């Protein structure tokens, strides 16, 4: 099948990060050697053909992928019988991706419905070195010794983490002549889904995709959050600064037409804490943050993409919270609500605040760390978005 003859639509993405230890056990620094990695993702599109994108963006040497398969997921590491599709790359079953490079597989025929879960298996015969990855997946990834690309027995995958490795996107084609309009969600752990139920697809972008479908207007919704991400500073742990990664992670995505931006919490909070993982942590002014938002707005408008600004949610009781940090949050939120510079506003702060203490999350929405929501809180975020603004 000729991939170039198809119109590719977004199905699923993850923003790629530098290898690091992260907050959860992961395999990014050690990489892989004579091992198969099996990863499960849920798509917010549909099609009759599929392809994947692999990223060696932060690799320091070429990445050799000895083999890859795509299948529909059964449960856990198990795949549905009869759905395993060997993937090729320019006709070959293996591929060498240069350091800093990314590559799409060829198209494979596979019937994929809205909200299907797909399983991507990658076999690395030779040592990969540290792996470009997405740290906070909140989905289980599985590892097995040897070539287990077509393994039917999930028991061979005896090791797990909750990160994704090298996998940057799944794209779908349905034979139609047009590209589907895509909604991007962009920001930090509040978009990434920190504290949501693992394997539950309970992040707010998941709930937003479900809400759009329920309203009869299904559209791909891509999650381009990175836990710990900052608007204005690069982080070895938490990704490139939002103003730098916005073009590739949002504007360059298939069919990008609308984006919801929720970022700035860590620029405010990191400066209040002396932790190695929170460095760099300059004391950012509200003016600097607004300048950063204006940069995102300008890039979006230049690309004819609508941009919704989301208010920063309450975090009283967390390690970030000080009088100075709270004052910044209030001032930033006032600007987001009243400046008119965003095309629309998603007032997450108002939607999730405790009515008796608006500087804190409502108890039902507080996961326990006083800054990240529960699954119910993430659903409340999705409910607070004006769908017509998308």
155-166: per-residue pLDDT in tens?
Answer: 999 999 999 999
Confidence of residue 1 (pLDDT cuts 50, 70, 90): low
Summarised one tens digit per residue, pLDDT across range 277-297 is 999 999 999 999 999 999 999
Give mean pLDDT, residues 164-180: 94
Which CATH architecture best describes the domain 182-389?
A: 3-Layer(aba) Sandwich (3.40)
The reported pLDDT for the residue numbered 161 is 97
Give mean pLDDT, residues 226-252: 97
177 pLDDT more than 90: no
260 pLDDT more than 90: yes
The reported pLDDT for the residue numbered 178 is 84
- CA 133 – CA 163 distance, rounded (Å): 7
The reported pLDDT for the residue numbered 165 is 98
Confidence of residue 176 (pLDDT cuts 50, 70, 90): confident
Confidence of residue 358 (pLDDT cuts 50, 70, 90): very high
Q: For domain 3-173, which CATH number applies: 2.40.160, 3.30.70, 2.60.120, 2.40.50?
A: 2.60.120
- CA 326 – CA 371 distance, rounded (Å): 13
Maximum C-alpha span of the chain: 62
Which residues contact residue 336 at a Cβ distance below 8 angstroms, ignoring those fewer than 6 apart?
A: 293, 309, 310, 311, 342, 345
The reported pLDDT for the residue numbered 233 is 98
With residues binned 3-state (H G I as helix, E B as strand, rest as coil), the percentages for the chain, rounded to 5, are 25, 30, 45
The reported pLDDT for the residue numbered 342 is 98
All structural domains of the chain with their residue ranges: 3-173, 182-389
307 pLDDT more than 70: yes
Summarised one tens digit per residue, pLDDT across range 318-337 is 999 999 999 999 999 999 99
Confidence of residue 141 (pLDDT cuts 50, 70, 90): very high
22 pLDDT more than 80: no
Give mean pLDDT, residues 153-181: 95
pTM exceeds 0.95, yes or no: yes
The reported pLDDT for the residue numbered 174 is 94
Of the candidates 79, 149, 148, 153, the residue with the CA atom closest to the CA atom of residue 118: 79
Say if CB 166 and CB 62 are below 8 A apart: no
The reported pLDDT for the residue numbered 170 is 98
Summarised one tens digit per residue, pLDDT across range 74-119 is 999 999 999 999 999 999 999 999 999 999 999 999 999 999 999 9
Say if CB 378 and CB 196 are below 8 A apart: yes
Summarised one tens digit per residue, pLDDT across range 83-92 is 999 999 999 9
The reported pLDDT for the residue numbered 24 is 76
| Angle between helical axes of 204-214 and 375-383 (0-180°, round to 10) | 50
How buried is residue 299: exposed, middle or buried, by Cβ count under 10 Å (0-12/13-18/19+)?
middle
134 pLDDT more than 90: yes
Question: 381-384 — which CB contacts under 8 Å span 24+ positions?
Answer: 381/190, 381/204, 381/207, 381/346, 381/348, 381/351, 381/352, 382/204, 382/205, 382/207, 382/208, 382/210, 382/211, 383/207, 383/211, 383/351, 384/346, 384/347, 384/348, 384/350, 384/351
Summarised one tens digit per residue, pLDDT across range 333-350 is 999 999 999 999 999 999
């Amino acid at each position: 099948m000729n991939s170039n003859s198809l119109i590719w639509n977004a199905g699923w993405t993850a923003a790629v990060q530098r290898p690091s230890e992260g907050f959860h056990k992961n395999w990014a620094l050690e990489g892989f050697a004579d091992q198969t990695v099996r990863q499960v993702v849920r798509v917010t599109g549909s099609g009759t053909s599929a392809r994947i994108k692999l990223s060696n963006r932060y690799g320091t040497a070429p990445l050799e992928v000895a083999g890859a398969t795509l299948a529909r997921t059964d449960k856990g590491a198990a795949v549905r019988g009869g759905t395993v599709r060997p993937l090729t790359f320019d006709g070959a079953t293996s591929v060498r991706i240069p350091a800093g490079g990314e590559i799409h597989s060829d198209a494979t025929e596979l019937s994929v419905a809205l909200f299907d879960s797909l399983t991507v298996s990658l076999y690395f015969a030779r040592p990969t070195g540290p792996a470009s990855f997405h740290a906070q997946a909140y989905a289980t990834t599985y590892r097995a010794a040897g070539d287990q690309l077509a393994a039917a027995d999930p028991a061979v995958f005896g090791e797990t983490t909750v990160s994704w490795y090298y996998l940057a996107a799944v794209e779908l084609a349905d034979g139609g002549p047009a590209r589907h309009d895509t909604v991007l969600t962009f920001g930090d752990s509040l978009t990434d889904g920190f504290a949501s139920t693992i394997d539950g697809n309970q992040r707010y972008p998941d709930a937003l995709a479900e809400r759009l479908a329920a309203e009869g207007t299904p559209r791909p919704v891509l999650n381009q959050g990175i836990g710990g991400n900052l608007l204005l500073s690069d982080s070895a742990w938490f990704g490139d600064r939002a103003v730098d990664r916005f073009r590739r992670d949002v504007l360059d995505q298939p069919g990008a037409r609308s984006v919801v931006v929720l970022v700035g919490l860590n620029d405010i909070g990191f400066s209040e804490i002396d932790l190695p993982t929170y460095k760099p942590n300059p004391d950012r002014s509200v003016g600097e943050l607004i300048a950063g938002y204006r940069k995102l707005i300008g890039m979006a408008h230049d690309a004819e993409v609508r941009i919704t600004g989301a208010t920063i949610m309450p975090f009283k009781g967390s390690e970030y919270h000080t009088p100075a940090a709270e004052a910044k949050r209030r001032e930033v939120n006032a600007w987001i609500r009243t400046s008119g510079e965003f095309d629309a506003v998603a007032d997450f702060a108002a939607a999730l605040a405790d009515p008796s203490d608006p500087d804190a999350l409502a108890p039902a929405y507080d996961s326990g760390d006083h800054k990240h929501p529960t699954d119910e809180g993430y659903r409340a975020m999705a409910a607070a978005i004006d769908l017509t603004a998308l």
